[in-house]
Chain A
Amino acid sequence: MITRSASEMAAALVSGETTSEQLTQAHLDRISEVDADVHAFLFVDNEGALGQAREVDAARARGEKLGPLAGVPLALKDVMVMRNVPTTAGSKILEGWLPPYDSTVVSKLQAAGIVILGKTNCDEFAMGSSTENSAYGPTHNPWDLTRIPGGSGGGSSASLAAFEAPLAIGTDTGGSIRQPAAVTGTVGVKPTYGGVSRYGLIAFSSSLDQAGPCARTVLDAALLHEVIAGHDPRDATSIDAPVPRVVDAAKSGDVRGIKIGVVKELNGDGYQAGVRSRFEESLELLAKAGAEIVEVSCPNFEYALAAYYLIAPSECSSNLARFDAMRYGLRVGDEDGASSESVMNLTREVGFGREVKRRIILGTYALSSGYYDAYYGSAQKVRTLIMRDFTKAFGLADVLVSPTCPTTAFKIGEKANDPLAMYLNDIATIPVNMAGIGGMSLPCGLAPEDNLPVGFQIMAPAMQDQRMYSVGAALEAALLSQWGAPLLSRIPALGGLK
């Protein structure tokens, strides 16, 4: 049962083949069987999850009308607050904190009857591309436990690939949903900025952060997308417009007449050979399915990474000022008449990890008087140029595509001491965040040289998220008929699963 898709599980719940309690218990058993090796979870809420599952079963027995994913379990990235459930954002500074409120995403999941299994590991405050920056140790890629599961949402993606959960929530500031999806052979979607509420999402870079669905199929991602999306008065940047009809798009998967633009700058040099060949084969499948393939050029994308590593650290240096040891979280050095300033200094020294400090210092510099125009100001101009490139490209194509990442999953430790090499993982995912548009990654095969998953990225204009789902579903169906079984059926066995 745990290897099925979320929509198949939901159907089994409706038909009475299983109950939410049984389904939840099966996933909890799987977590206790394999998570010592994978380390996808920072906290497993055994009792909370089973209690919620029993409530859904009881509601179903009473004949109540339930949502399409009611009773299906989910893994929640640890940057999303949940009342009375430990929430750390992968940081020591929040160790032991029990939030007094629910994020809007959590409220919506609970209202939909989705069972929250626990909190998943991530890079500290979602800053990273490998989950190695978690203060609680790295997550391991279920395809090869010596490799990274992507980041920052490596716990969410690994939980899906290890069959510990059929659904997960991620957040994407520069690729933290899509890159982990790519390297674990799962599906991840960054909705249009403002499509999903940020209320209760621990802020990293407020103008870039966006929560979204992670799943094993395009349809499952769409079902979860519609649960969590929608206007929220508690988030001033939430879009007050109807949610794009992503489930209908995922069900139809019709790409006849759709123009697909291949972004010239997001391919070629620096992209692994097997990544490129799987990407090219996918384009052929889409053309066979009736899409028209065109090439587009976005010349300013080569500056996106540089602009991102000014904008995101600048915003983080401001957002993380809230961790001041006064109202919640860690406090160090509060003794013998110590001043508030010395307590703050000591707490932040002990509570923050290396990458977080690096970005706070970089952001503090980029925003400082005398350097502001040269760094932060210039980065904001590059952001304008990237948006112009997208506007032009979307004049020529309905969606844009590229490989999600330049390479497959690398070894844990391989890039840990080279921040710039690490940042390059996000080269193809960052432009989407800069422009606030939607992006999806879905698996398009294994690279022949290392037998590791490759991700195919689809980008759509703001609030046209349904286009990604149409194209994603078409490609997924074409690949499935070629392979005969989902990609994850080829993952090496973990634990007792056949």
Chain B
Amino acid sequence: MSTLSRGEVANLARLARIEMTDQELDDLSSEMDVILGAVARVQEVASADVKPTSHPLPLRNVTRPDVVVPGLSPDQALSGAPAKEGARFRVPKILGEEE
């Protein structure tokens, strides 16, 4: 059974794009140990011959007729934008200086 170090939790937080305080990292790494210990029980019965289920419905390639239906206007789509410029979302820079 694996336990999670503080450094591993910090890495997961980075992957999940959440800045965390030292206190949060400490709390989470001890909580994760307890929670992972409990959920690891699934391994007791998950033998190789059991097929995994990802979804309760046996659905495949659901499509709708290819017809035009009303969508949001640019103003509606931008109505909740934290920042906008003209008819576009304004976002912080996505590339570093050297790129």
Contacts and interface: CB of A to CB of B under 8 A. Distances in A.
B57 A327 contact: no
A346 interface: yes
Interface string A427-438: 000000011110
Residue with the highest number of chain A CB atoms closer than 10 Å, among B36, B43, B55, B56: B56
16 contacts: A101-B76, A234-B64, A237-B57, A307-B42, A309-B38, A339-B96, A340-B92, A345-B19, A365-B32, A374-B43, A380-B54, A381-B47, A381-B51, A384-B51, A387-B53, A436-B57
Nearest to A435: B56
Interface in B15-43: 15-20, 24, 28, 31-32, 34-36, 38-43
Nearest to B91: A326
Contacts of B89: 326-327
A360 B18 contact: yes
A233 B64 contact: yes
Nearest to B8: A365
B38 to A, nearest CB: 6
Q: How large is the interface on B (under 10, 10 to 19, 20 to 34, 35 or more residues)?
A: 35 or more
Given A306-B38, A381-B53, A437-B56, 8 more contacts: A101-B72, A334-B83, A339-B94, A342-B92, A377-B52, A381-B52, A436-B55, A462-B56
B45 A303 contact: yes
A67 interface: no
A364 B59 contact: no
B81 A383 contact: no
B98 to A, nearest CB: 13
Residue with the highest number of chain A CB atoms closer than 10 Å, among B42, B44, B59: B42
Contacts of B16: 317, 348, 360-361, 364
A357 B18 contact: yes
Contacts of B82: 325-326, 328-331, 334
B contact patch SS: loop
A373 B81 CA distance: 39
B93 A384 contact: no
Interface of A: 97-101, 193-194, 207, 233-234, 236-237, 239, 300, 303, 306-307, 309-310, 317, 321, 324-331, 334, 337-346, 348-349, 352, 357-358, 360-362, 364-366, 368, 371, 374-375, 377-385, 387, 419-420, 434-437, 462
Given A237-B59, A357-B24, A352 B18 contact: yes
A320 B76 CA distance: 22
Interface in B56-99: 56-57, 59, 62, 64, 72, 76-77, 79-83, 89, 91-94, 96
Contacts of B96: 339
B42 A378 contact: yes
Contacts of A383: 52-53
Query: Shortest 7 CB-CB distances between A and B: which pairs?
Result: A436-B56, A328-B80, A380-B52, A331-B82, A378-B46, A381-B46, A349-B19
Contact of A340 (B59, B81, B93): B93
Residue with the highest number of chain A CB atoms closer than 10 Å, among B46, B76, B89: B46
Contacts of A341: 17
A97 B80 CA distance: 6
A331 B83 contact: yes
Nearest to A308: B39
A309 B40 CA distance: 10
Contact of B53 (A330, A362, A384, A419): A384
A306 B41 contact: yes
Nearest to A418: B34
Given A331-B82, A343-B92, A100 B77 contact: yes
A377 B46 contact: yes
A345 B18 contact: yes
Nearest to B13: A361
Residue with the highest number of chain A CB atoms closer than 10 Å, among B16, B54, B57, B93: B16
Residue with the highest number of chain B CB atoms closer than 10 Å, among A207, A337, A374, A383: A383
A340 B40 CA distance: 36
A420 B56 contact: no
Contact of A306 (B14, B42, B52, B57): B42
A239 B58 CA distance: 10
Contact of A334 (B39, B42, B92, B94): B92
